[in-house]
Chains A and B, each alone.
Chain A
Amino acid sequence: MPRYGMVIDTKKCVGCQDCVVACKTENNIPEGYNRDWIVTEVKGKFPTVQMEIRTERCNHCSNTPCVSCCPTGASHIHEFGGIVLVDHEMCIGCKACVEACPYDARYIHPDGYADKCTFCIHRVEKGQNPACVEVCPTHCMYFGDLDDPNSEVSKLLQSRKWHVNLPDAGTEPNIFYLI
């Protein structure tokens, strides 16, 4: 089984939020909520400034505090590619996972369940990319199997410098940022 992950080229990302809008229409996310978002990190003093722009979402971690804290088993790692999902029927909306996620990737949907990025599993199962990857006008996002050394994501991680978010949290995130 593959281990799905994302590689995001921060050199190319312009932070336009197209990924956010595409996620919202693809997945019918209600107004005021979103499963992905943009972070702009600025360092230095004008005019010597460094800036990194990142599109962020659930990291689909290999070590998942959101799953281990879930009292009902709604939060789980799916066998299909290791994608972290929430079974909305089983979810009681207790917010334990919302608190546990160090990336603040989850929210309680107005219908009462915890919601977050699914890597667009409904698309991935059909061999398509997640909606955010597919829409990105800068082509800064790559999706694929991290366990396949010949996949584009693996090759990018071999050839470029990268970082993950909150590496010290011990979550083993599966989203990587090229720098």
Chain B
Amino acid sequence: MNSISRRRFLKISGATIATAAILTGAGKTFVKGAEKINREKVKGIQKIPTYCDLCFWKCGAIAYLKDGELWKVEGNPLDPLSKGRLCPRGTGGVGAYYDEDRLKTPLIRKNLRGEEKWVEVTWDEAFEFIADKMNKIKNQYGPESVALFSHGIGGNFIKHLLRAYGSPNETAPSFAQCRGPREVGFELTFGDVVGSPERTDIENTKCLVLIGSHLGENMHNTQVQEFSHAIQKGASIIVVDPRFSVAAGKAKYYLPIKPGTDLALLLAWMGVIVREKLYDADYISKYGYGFDKFAAEVSQYTPEWAYIETGIEPEIIVETAREMARYKPATLVHPGRHATWYGDDTQRSRAIALLNALLGSWGRKGGFYVPYSYSIPKYPYPPYPELKREPVDNPEGKFPFATGEQISTGIREATITGKPYPIKGWFIYGTNLMQALPNRDETIKAIQNLDLMVVVDVVPSEIAGWADVVLPESVYLERYDDLNTSPFREGFVGIRQPVIDEPNNQKPNWWIAKKLAEKLGLENYFPWKDAEEYLDTRLKLAGISLDELKKTGIIKAPEKPIYFEDGAEAEFATPSGKIEFYSDQLAQAGFDPIPRYTKHEQPPEGYFRLLYGRSPVHTFSKTQSNPLLRDMMSENELWINSDIAAKLGIRNGQKVKLKNQDGVISDPIKVKATERIRKDCVYMVHGFGQKSRQLRSTYKKGASDAELITKYNTDPLMGGTAMNVNFVTIESEV
């Protein structure tokens, strides 16, 4: 034996010996997942494939049990998203299981909403309570008066339940509070969305342009892996950001743009490319519509004009435009993801789409590939009841280009006003609306109008504190979910399956939906016995074996070409059937057919623009109580330029409070005085400063950007709520 002590040897190597034993002869990588495991009898290591739920990327993972206890989670090498490597959140996935603040049993509110006083009830009591209220709402207002806010694939069974109940109102903040403007901007231009996972071919790009997109801090696994490959291969990287991000540290060009002026830079870049005829002329003549009108308009924008707006020197604007053109079509101007910044975000995103169109990168290697999915039929459910009323989120098509997805804040508005018809019930799955929606007061006002508010979550999130009924869901390691067939550069199907039993009275969402359906008399919509039967039915329709998928975790679809040059179809579902450099439909609706620059308000003297972003170790406000991840980052910091900090007399590590333009004061937050940010803005990681007293480990740790986002600008095209428009002062007395 080597000189690691015997105690440690047993701790770390005992497992190894048992692994060998269990796998002897078989040579199999996986044991069959989701069998009921008698832990007493199971020794050694078991590896069970599933897919991660720490964020929405849904990476294929392998969970390890050691002697029947959950040990660790690794990436599944068969999975095209993770390629066998998870991000830190995924690696910390076991912490979700061990989180001591997890919801343990169903709860019904005892006192006023938001007081977080509860009575513990049985599942049956909880379902009785909910069904009674839902029936009353249906009778009095109609089934449309219950709305669902759902984020993540886990919400699929609850979506199905509410469609069966008869509601058309179903939304996620990931549209109007996040990537909506980007999707609409790209759809207006190319006839298709960027999608999730993004169809960005970072792996093969020769020039990557990131505009406020902080890859590496924003830890979308595949994108970060590909970003690293691009760095290794020597891709030219251009980063535009008011903050010297991690990505900026990898860049050939760092452009420290004045916040709110990105569209001026984009127009100037396009001006240079058009005037110097650096665009992909063949691509444009083949696929483009309205190019001449577009060229005439954007050629007016000069680097000198943009310099005044953006603070980026004209020479750099010209040089970077030429750099992009040099590598076309393998130049990727990344569309970002969280795009709700200033209020003209759809037009800014459309400008990004147009710049890519000029470079011929859409559909091309090193630009945007054409993704495909494993086509697996839906479960053959009976048809949903006919809808009598339209969704409430966008009355009379006020936001004419809010297509495909609903506007969360529109549903909130309808709940407050009762127009176009009252919303009396909220179902909330996996999204903390207190942090996800701007202007918390409006959310609370809407909640006060409800007859029923149900939250399904794994932890007592802030929004759960406002609920009438809280239903504790199993964490992903304990449950089945729907199949993952995300469109990607390789089509695949991934399974999520239970690895370990729930420690308390938590239940999977499929069970919750099915049981509640039975109480509501909707059991015919849940004809399957359990999730396994549901999955088996779907998979059989596609000729896939459930047993096989449970063993491997991932099965890939037959390969297809993903670039135009390799035979992927160049289809553009726009009115013209082409890439729309000029948009007739925008003109007809009274909007700029070619994006135009709007000057945005800049912070008054003494104020800073509040910017926010991501940390690689947390997802939104969902993971802060995970013991492994909170050990990596337990609170956020306020980034402020060193010179400004010195001028204000505040030191690194000191706690300050922020006060916004509406007088809202934040919780104390530690100062990070740094050379990595402009002088006119401050920055913090989103998701902290949580107010749920039941989340003991995260209660008031750091400050909440969301609390300070009382102001928002609404994108007139699609109703997105732009949130980078709040200004703060720094209060050093804490």
Q: Which of B11, B219, B228, B641 is in CB contact (< 8 Å) with A139?
A: B228
A15: interface (CB < 8 Å): yes
B285: interface (CB < 8 Å): no
CB distance from A178 to the nearest CB of B (A): 11
Q: What 1/0 flags go to A137-151 for Cβ under 8 Å of B? A: 111100000000000
A104: interface (CB < 8 Å): no
- For B75, B215, B254, B631, the residue with the greatest tally of chain A CB atoms inside 10 Å of its CB is B631
Contact between B246 and A15, CB atoms less than 8 A apart:
yes
Number of interface residues of B (CB under 8 A): 58
B34: interface (CB < 8 Å): no
Contact between B16 and A46, CB atoms less than 8 A apart:
no
A22: chain B residues within 8 A (beta carbon)? 72, 91
Contact between A14 and B2, CB atoms less than 8 A apart:
no
Contact between B616 and A14, CB atoms less than 8 A apart:
yes
Q: Which of B91, B217, B627, B677 is in CB contact (< 8 Å) with A14?
A: B217
A179: interface (CB < 8 Å): no
Measured as residues with beta carbon below 8 angstroms from the partner, the interface class of chain A is 35 or more
Contact between B628 and A16, CB atoms less than 8 A apart:
no
A134: chain B residues within 8 A (beta carbon)? 74, 85
Q: What 1/0 flags go to A87-128 for Cβ under 8 Å of B? A: 111100000000000000000000000000010011001100
CB distance from A37 to the nearest CB of B (A): 10
Contact between B249 and A25, CB atoms less than 8 A apart:
no
A157: interface (CB < 8 Å): no
A76: chain B residues within 8 A (beta carbon)? 3
A78: interface (CB < 8 Å): yes
A164: interface (CB < 8 Å): no
The CA of A25 and the CA of B642, in the complex, are separated in Å by 37
Q: Which of A18, A46, A136, A139 is in CB contact (< 8 Å) with B675?
A: A46
Contact between A53 and B249, CB atoms less than 8 A apart:
yes
The residue on A at minimum CB distance from B91 is A21
B632: chain A residues within 8 A (beta carbon)? 17, 20-21
Contact between B88 and A21, CB atoms less than 8 A apart:
yes
B472: interface (CB < 8 Å): no
Contact between B676 and A46, CB atoms less than 8 A apart:
yes
Q: Do A21 and B628 contact each other (CB < 8 Å), given the known contacts A87-B3, A137-B85, A139-B228?
A: yes
Contact between B244 and A46, CB atoms less than 8 A apart:
yes
Contact between A16 and B94, CB atoms less than 8 A apart:
no
The residue on A at minimum CB distance from B75 is A135
Q: Which of B12, B231, B248, B642 is in CB contact (< 8 Å) with A11?
A: B231
A18: chain B residues within 8 A (beta carbon)? 85-88, 91, 616
B628: chain A residues within 8 A (beta carbon)? 21, 24-25
What are 30 A-B pairs at a CB distance below 8 A? A14-B224, A15-B216, A15-B616, A16-B87, A16-B216, A16-B616, A20-B632, A21-B617, A21-B628, A21-B629, A22-B72, A22-B91, A32-B631, A46-B244, A47-B244, A49-B254, A50-B249, A52-B249, A53-B246, A80-B2, A88-B7, A90-B5, A118-B4, A122-B13, A125-B2, A135-B91, A138-B216, A138-B224, A139-B228, A139-B232
In the A-B complex, the 3 residue pairs with the closest CB atoms: A14-B216, A138-B228, A16-B616
Binding site for B on A (CB under 8 A): 9, 11-12, 14-18, 20-22, 24-28, 31-32, 34, 42, 44-47, 49-53, 76, 78, 80, 85, 87-90, 118, 121-122, 125-126, 134-140
